[in-house]
A and B are shown apart, each in its own frame.
Chain A
């Protein structure tokens, strides 16, 4: 793979000055003409997407009209909180830290999840860690999911998750994104601000978000940008190095978990190229050559892209009505 400015593959190269100008101009227009709100609320995980969105919001309106939220819970890494604070201070915005462990505990998030894990590992208890990993897509199989647990001695065990346990674990952990969104809208309502959603193009395209959780927002400023472009944008905007160099994680499970382990068939740099090639009608052979995988694997990746679009289409749908109601 040959690379360009900021290490980008040439097909993803864009003029970042122009792009920042275009996005921030649209953010102001949308805020004044469509949303009629006077600022932005942004939840900051310390990850690259929310960091770039926060920086763009500050570019669009200035630091006084952007309110940041850090919402750690029991399974958050301490790094994400540190990076969130680092960014808020770098941008000079007002922010608050709301720990959401107590509300999550109260609605049974951890209990439901742990009970479901115990269907597979009955010995799982306090002090153990967990994560879900995806399997199948790159091998041409139907995507399915394994649970990985680690005991306090550091021993790891992995088993395929039965469907009901998988669904329950995901449903329970989705509380995290939904509680966060509730708080974002609380602050947005009290300030008369709009809520920023932070998906990048890969996440938006492949449905990697929680409906009515992180998928909910008033504006999504980077949903057209591939993940590599978001990283490049972070560098272009001069964000602190620890943020620019952070690896994408879900920050949802207690064991460290890359997004490609949980959801995508490939690491993000290759996944970006795969989706770009798919969108531009490139053959599996062309994709294979570009990202150094076999043609068979490239075919499987294309099938996986299609399957994920299909399976997650419902996440994008607004409530369906029996007939259109004119407003």
Chain B
């Protein structure tokens, strides 16, 4: 994984850990954890995440891209971002 990707992954992980799990314990979040199924985020949380992607990473999520397979875990987000920035 490139340095940029590593930094992005860490940025996303920190965003979720700090704002939804209120911890800096990295073991509380696996990259494959589904945000919705585990209850880490609800659909409003996903909208906040979309806002974060726009503000922090300048990644605009179009309405047809607002699907769980793009946004529902760190792994899905990283794949989605890679596709958007390719």
Contacts and interface: CB of A to CB of B under 8 A. Distances in A.
B63 A140 contact: no
B48 A142 contact: no
B38 to A, nearest CB: 11
Given A160-B63, A311-B42, A142 B51 contact: no
A163 B42 CA distance: 14
Contact of A307 (B43, B50, B67, B71): B43
B32 to A, nearest CB: 19
Contact of B47 (A140, A142, A310): A142
Contacts of A55: none
Interface string A152-188: 0000000010111010000000000000000000000
A299 interface: no
A234 interface: no
Interface in B17-73: 36, 39, 42-44, 46-48, 50-51, 63-64, 66-68, 71
Interface in A270-327: 307-308, 310-311
B46 A142 contact: yes
B42 A144 contact: no
B43 A311 contact: yes
A141 B63 contact: yes
Interface residues of A, number: 16
A106 to B, nearest CB: 29
A141 B66 contact: yes
Interface residues of B, number: 16
- Interface of A: prevailing SS: mixed
Contacts of A311: 42-44
A135 interface: yes
A144 B67 contact: no
Nearest to B44: A311
A136 interface: yes
A143 interface: yes
Contact of A141 (B39, B44, B48, B67): B67
Contact of B36 (A135, A140, A141, A307): A307
A140 B39 contact: no
B63 A135 contact: yes
A199 B51 CA distance: 32
A141 B50 CA distance: 13
Interface string A200-224: 0000000000000000000000000
A134 to B, nearest CB: 11
Contacts of B43: 142-143, 307-308, 310-311
A136 B63 contact: yes
Contacts of A144: 47, 63, 66
Given A142-B43, A307-B42, A310-B39, A163 B67 contact: no
A300 to B, nearest CB: 10
A142 B43 CA distance: 6
A142 B66 CA distance: 5
Contacts of B42: 307, 310-311
Contacts of A308: 43
A223 to B, nearest CB: 22
B25 to A, nearest CB: 22
Given A141-B64, A164-B51, 13 more contacts: A136-B63, A136-B66, A141-B67, A142-B71, A163-B48, A163-B50, A163-B51, A307-B36, A307-B43, A310-B39, A310-B42, A310-B43, A311-B44
Interface of B: 36, 39, 42-44, 46-48, 50-51, 63-64, 66-68, 71
27 contacts: A136-B63, A140-B67, A141-B63, A141-B64, A141-B66, A141-B67, A142-B43, A142-B47, A142-B50, A142-B66, A142-B68, A142-B71, A144-B47, A144-B66, A160-B63, A163-B48, A163-B51, A164-B51, A307-B36, A307-B42, A308-B43, A310-B36, A310-B42, A310-B43, A311-B42, A311-B43, A311-B44
